[in-house]
Structure 1
Amino acid sequence: MSGRPEPLWPLFAELKTLDGIGPKGAAALDGADIAAPRDLLYTLPHSVIDRRPRDSIQGADLPGVVTVEVTVGRHRKAARRGGPYRIQVEDARSAFQLVFFHGREDYLLRQLPEGERRLVSGRVEVFDGLAQMVHPDHILMPEGAEALPSFEPVYPLAGGITQKVMARGIASALAKSPDLPEWADGALVAREGWPGWRAALHRAHAPEGLDDMAPSAAARQRLAYDELLAHQLTLALARSHRRRGKGIVTEGNGLLRGKVLGALPYRPTDAQARAMQEIADDMAGPERMNRLLQGDVGAGKTLVAFMALLIAVEAGGQGVMMAPTEILARQHLEGLRPLADSAGVVLDILTGRDKGAERRAKLEALARGDIGILVGTHAVFQADVAFADLRLAVVDEQHRFGVRQRLELGRKGQGADVLVMTATPIPRSLALAQYGDMEVSVLDEKPPGRKPIRTALTSVERMDEVVDHLRRAVAEGRQAYWVCPLVEESESIDLTASEERFKRLRAALGDGVVGLVHGQMPPAEKDAAMARFVSGETKVLVATTVIEVGVNVPNATIMVIERAEWFGLAQLHQLRGRVGRGTQDSTCLLLYQPPLTEGGSRRLTTLRETEDGFRIAEVDLEMRGAGDLIGTAQSGLPKFRVADLEHQAGLMATAQTDARKLLTDDPELKSDRGKAARLLLWLMRQDEAIRLISVG
């Protein structure tokens, strides 16, 4: 990348410029995602070996690493080729052996001459009552002891690279690392007692015990903070760049919203009212809104989104609501229809299914402005779809909808506001990492009338009782989901699992009572099976997880999840949220195969104890780590080398506040701290941000 500032050149030089790393070493490191000295510096040790000398191996915790000064005794040559070559040694209080395989006698006699003293360090084990140190890691003259660090860092290794090569390469990279100006907020550094950037690197690579390895150690916190700050600066630059793009001022007169609120049988929760106000304020501003509406299952996101769409219509414009699938688009349509009717607003749907004359008629009505609110799938992106005056796009379920589609949407309505809804509660640190360029509204209250869901754990050995329970519920007119696991991602086995269960339930409950939906079905069949269940024609729906997002059947009050221990926490929480949507009491049965692993048991008991999606997400983050939580592949989550989102969650929020404040005070990054921040962006390879600064 051209234009990299000169102070950083040594950090981005070729690896073979470092001591002890030749072309072969450089190639091996490259395979491990280490392409420059900078990447070596950010490969921190994952543990330490205590090399502090003691006077004897006696009383040491064996087997284990011991560093001890010894007097060298007799050499016993190997009896056969490649056999053990043994050397007797004595420390202050005991005797043991040094053992070498394939040992060369002349070399060992030079290294360890009889009668002399040496400092040896290595792993000592006891075999048949004899203590041995096999192949010592270090053999030093007693006066050279200070060359051995008290705590030796241990690095993650790759492709034939040894600890020695890593240590030499890192020492060389540290020696070449420049002194860089401070980009962190001075008050923050002072308050936290953090070292400067270069001092932090030196300290992180020379730990003085296990405490220095903890995510809470000052040097590690400092380095993690730098990474998070660079990431948040990139998001903040993207945000301010977008805000410079002209938005449209959209203010409503409240008439349509008043009609809808008047027709509702309940009052919105405080959280809903707060979110509605935040969105209305954003839409009335001159900049484009880019807001995330995050709410747990059943927190009432749909009403909040619809109120925002009504502002667009009140202001004489149009709104669109995008869903990831046809089924969900139709559900939004059903859910919004009574609200639209009470406001007297024209609502229509556009999906890939619309063809020919019908599609043309819809497109003309849209272009004339006759349709106020459009619900659709990504079919809305097609070139011939034109709005008369698009003011707001609501996007459902962000992670199925990439950033690329968000940009596409922007082109459909130059300056249109964007509201993204997600039903996946994400812990705050991750929400900031993933959606740091957006403002966030959180719905953290349940609307009135939502009843708690009783959650129970049942062993699969009691399957017959569960089926009996189901038979009685169906006789009372209730409906149930039965979710089968995706077996090892193998669709064919998964198919047989769901088909087997379908046959057994049909045999137990009677023909026409049970329906089936799985991933291999053609979309039209899937929709038809769903429709039969929604209308109440079938009472039990056997399904793989295709139902997890958004399906709404108020009469369904039982959710059975088979082999629940195979599912992730967030997924279980989403599935459970499909019931408890009506006025009756609901139950979720988690069927598991004993014995449960510790992790399986913790997931299922967490679910049984709480319905709070944010609490569940926090436990999920502790158990699985950040990458897995949102599936790193599609999450857009950056790969951090040092920062650990599970244990340093608070740093992410600090970094976001800091980045936004820096850009508010110094939008061009021209001040001393601003220039230092530019260096940080180059150091962290934030190409996107660098592009935005140079464009800016």
Structure 2
Amino acid sequence: MSTKKGKKGSQLGRLQQLGPKELWQVPLLLPKGWDDLRFPIEHFGCLAPGGTEPVVVVGLIAFEPDVRFGKVPKTIVTLWDADRNPVKVSFFGDTRSLNLTKGRRIAVSGIPTEWSGQIYLNNPSIVEEAWLGRMRPIYPGKPKSIKAETVRGKMLELLPKAIPEATAKLKESIQAYKPVGELMAKLGYEGVELEKVIRAAHVPKTAEAGEKAQRILESIAAFHRVSDAARYSPPKRTKTLPVSSRDAEAFAKRLPFTLDTGQMAAIEDMVSRLAGQTPMRHMISGDVGSGKTAVFACVAAVVAKAGGRVAIMAPMGVLARQTLEKINQWWPEISSELVTGDTPGTAEVSSRIKSAAIIAGSTALLHREVGDLDLVIVDEQQRFSRAQREGLCRQGDEHLIEATATCIPRSMALVKFGQWSFSRLNGAHVKKNIITDIVRLGASKEPIQKTIMKKIQSTLDAGREVLIIYPLREASEPDTRTRSVDEAARKFEKLYPGMVATISGGMKEEEKNAAIEQIQTRQKRILVGTSVIEVGVDIPGLQRVVVVNPERMGLAALHQIRGRVARAGGQGYMDLYVPDPIAPHSAQRLKALVDTQDGFRLTEMDMELRGVGDISQESSRQSGSDETLLFGRVVTYDAIKSVEELI
């Protein structure tokens, strides 16, 4: 369905900043809820304070408003019902446009509370009389751009004309895959008219009816996206690779460790796909220590032996270097080159890059001429945008492998619906047990600070290393509650002179390499950094990681950080240090991390929480809103499951 800006786009005005560009798209910007104004209260004697739900009262303004000036002006209004029972309302800011004059009848929504024996309405808002007895939609606004109330006014102005157009467009789009009536019946809504569904999604008779209508539209959006993705046919390769499973076995036998059955099965599966004309799109999912690097390196070696060329892209140059060093140790006969931001741009170096069988590097690869490639491998896919992950597939027919412990939701959806092949690695070359603990705010901050410091000290006393992660990099970043990496490093250096190294995304490549080497060689014992360390850097002696303000980070990033611990096996610890109160949903996410060490399960939970993203082939959106159908609304995992059998 086209999203080009048509002639009718001028009718939309600032509404276009929320997504819709044409009139028919307006109804696809759904309200995020409704104000229930069906039962206005005109007799105040029945009002009871202490509730959490807003009510609507209708009364006369008893006196001239009491206006009080200060930093924020406040206007206090007393309303009377027919028996002169009072309710007081306080409006903040400039209220001149509200026309609050004595004797005027107005309707106000708010939450009843009591103060000094008087009933007040908290968080009040004026209700237009036309909405009394109805459900009023609540639309999203955009700060400094368009207010939610303005959005509502514009939406209600345009909906009568837009809904018929949206109905026709949706029907046309759905018909390409399945008759609309059949789809509605399969979803359990046989005989329900699509136009009525769209109307009810905006102005329903009840909240339940509105929620039901929106669920139907979400299922339709999911059906359209999944159907579109499932029918995608990639271009054919003009050449095939003479790869062999025997070569894969031979390369695997030269590793300094033995691959398990699952790892070998993954290698053989990918090698068999490399022999075909269809470009492979393959996901390797496995927790830290499950052997992802060995698996994709074996596949890369097979391609190199067959005369093909491979690029391996990692989030950091230090990780790319680490991967290439392993490949050189395992199979020294394979020509290779490292490409990072520090790699010289001389003609000689460029020639070596274009001729090497395997090149590995950071995103610097995207800005170099690397020659024709047969296979692109992206390590730690969650650290890249889709444009970056596919940026080296310049011909369009390259094979692509992405590896991660925590798939992004969009990739999980593509795997689920057959667009990508998939290998899940369950084994690990070492046995380890990591205890994850949430250290939360108690009666005062001092006890939990002492708890954390005791944990750090006990790890150092045991002769092991500690990693401390802060979400901000510089002191200049706006959030005074969160200590920056630089400040934290100075603090720990005072406590442990000569024992502290620092790493962050703003450092040069050689500075990062030097910091990690100091920890790896145990010249330093404490590494203070940002989440840049989350990807597969080996620190063999690391036994404990402390994450400050973990609620500011995603599940995937936290799980990756946990994977740095106890790389050599044994007992490890992760402390989630929460010095401030956090929202219930944030606490739920952190508890999920405590409850499971399975990155695959955490990815599923992430998909349930964040949505699966736009899985269309043209999209670069990794998770969240699918803005080709419903603007600002996620395609939920539940919606995907509801249409799975209909594809």
Scaled by the length of structure 1, the TM-score of the pair is 0.70
Deviation at 1:469, TM superposition (A): 0.9
Between the aligned partners of 2:281 and 2:422, the Cα distance in structure 1 is: 11
Determine if contact 2:38/2:133 at 8 Å carries over to the other structure.
yes
Between the aligned partners of 2:101 and 2:382, the Cα distance in structure 1 is: 59
Change (3 A) 1:553 1:504: same
Change (3 A) 1:361 1:652: same
Between the aligned partners of 1:328 and 1:415, the Cα distance in structure 2 is: 27
Determine if contact 1:565/1:600 at 8 Å carries over to the other structure.
yes
User: Which of residues 407, 430, 446 in structure 1 aligns to 2:427?
Assistant: 446
Per the alignment, in what secondary structure is the counterpart of residue 527 of structure 1?
helix
Q: How does 1:209-608 map to 2 (within 5 A)?
A: 209-214=206-211, 217=212, 219-232=213-226, 235=229, 239-240=232-233, 243-264=234-255, 268-269=259-260, 271-341=262-332, 345-355=334-344, 360=348, 363-364=351-352, 367=355, 371-381=356-366, 385-386=370-371, 390-405=373-388, 408-411=391-394, 415-427=397-409, 431-432=412-413, 438-443=419-424, 445-458=426-439, 459-474=448-463, 478-486=464-472, 490=476, 494-507=484-497, 511=498, 513-593=499-579, 598-599=584-585, 601-608=587-594
Higher deviation after alignment, 45-54 or 81-90: 81-90
What per-residue deviation string (whole Å, max 9, x for no partner) do you get for residues 76-99 of structure 1? 886999997977637xxx988999
What per-residue deviation string (whole Å, max 9, x for no partner) do you get for residues 546-605 of structure 1? 311110123323323345455443322211111121133222233442666645544443
Is the counterpart of residue 610 in structure 1 residue 607 in structure 2?
A: no
Partner of 2:443: none
Between the aligned partners of 1:83 and 1:323, the Cα distance in structure 2 is: 61
Is the counterpart of residue 89 in structure 1 residue 82 in structure 2?
A: yes
Amino acid at match of 1:44: L
Between the aligned partners of 2:477 and 2:44, the Cα distance in structure 1 is: 58
Partner of 1:201: 198
Between the aligned partners of 1:154 and 1:401, the Cα distance in structure 2 is: 35
Determine if contact 1:152/1:206 at 8 Å carries over to the other structure.
yes
Change (3 A) 1:438 1:419: farther
Between the aligned partners of 1:101 and 1:83, the Cα distance in structure 2 is: 13
Change (3 A) 1:247 1:650: farther
Determine if contact 1:294/1:422 at 8 Å carries over to the other structure.
yes
Amino acid at match of 2:214: R
Higher deviation after alignment, 447-456 or 123-132: 123-132
Change (3 A) 1:151 1:267: same
Higher deviation after alignment, 318-327 or 34-43: 34-43
Per the alignment, in what secondary structure is the counterpart of residue 408 of structure 2?
coil
Amino acid at match of 1:220: Q
Determine if contact 1:50/1:209 at 8 Å carries over to the other structure.
no
Give the gaps of 5 or more residues in structure 2.
68-74, 90-97, 440-447, 614-618
Between the aligned partners of 1:526 and 1:505, the Cα distance in structure 2 is: 23
Higher deviation after alignment, 524-533 or 430-439: 430-439
Determine if contact 2:34/2:135 at 8 Å carries over to the other structure.
no
Partner of 1:171: 160
User: Which of residues 634, 638, 644 in structure 2 aligns to 1:650?
Assistant: 638
What per-residue deviation string (whole Å, max 9, x for no partner) do you get for residues 435-492 of structure 1? 9895041425232533121233442223442343133222xxx333233442688469
What per-residue deviation string (whole Å, max 9, x for no partner) do you get for residues 92-130 of structure 1? xx988999964497xx7xxx9xxxxxxx97648699989
Between the aligned partners of 1:382 and 1:137, the Cα distance in structure 2 is: 57
Deviation at 1:327, TM superposition (A): 0.6
Partner of 1:677: none
Amino acid at match of 2:397: G
Change (3 A) 1:490 1:245: farther
Between the aligned partners of 1:299 and 1:599, the Cα distance in structure 2 is: 30
Deviation at 1:649, TM superposition (A): 0.9
Amino acid at match of 1:588: M
Structure with bigger helix share is: 1
Change (3 A) 1:450 1:87: closer
Between the aligned partners of 1:450 and 1:79, the Cα distance in structure 2 is: 72
Amino acid at match of 1:49: D
Identity %: 23
Change (3 A) 1:382 1:77: closer
Change (3 A) 1:267 1:520: closer
Q: How does 1:25-64 map to 2 (within 5 A)?
A: 26-45=12-31, 46-52=33-39, 59=46
What per-residue deviation string (whole Å, max 9, x for no partner) do you get for residues 248-288 of structure 1? 32242333322233345665455434433432232122111
What per-residue deviation string (whole Å, max 9, x for no partner) do you get for residues 362-421 of structure 1? 835853xxx44332334545665435xx4212122335544445555233x673312122
Q: How does 1:655-694 map to 2 (within 5 A)?
A: none
Determine if contact 2:607/2:637 at 8 Å carries over to the other structure.
no
Per the alignment, in what secondary structure is the counterpart of residue 426 of structure 2?
coil
Change (3 A) 1:622 1:58: farther
Higher Rg of the two aligned structures? 1
Determine if contact 1:294/1:443 at 8 Å carries over to the other structure.
yes
Deviation at 1:332, TM superposition (A): 0.6
Deviation at 1:59, TM superposition (A): 4.8
RMSD: 4.7
Scaled by the length of structure 2, the TM-score of the pair is 0.75
Between the aligned partners of 2:44 and 2:262, the Cα distance in structure 1 is: 65
Between the aligned partners of 2:86 and 2:66, the Cα distance in structure 1 is: 22
Change (3 A) 1:131 1:622: same
Amino acid at match of 1:197: L
What per-residue deviation string (whole Å, max 9, x for no partner) do you get for residues 631-687 of structure 1? x998486543748877831333666886xx6xxxxxxxxxxxxxxxxxxxxxxxxxx
Change (3 A) 1:490 1:444: farther
Deviation at 1:607, TM superposition (A): 2.6
Determine if contact 1:392/1:416 at 8 Å carries over to the other structure.
yes
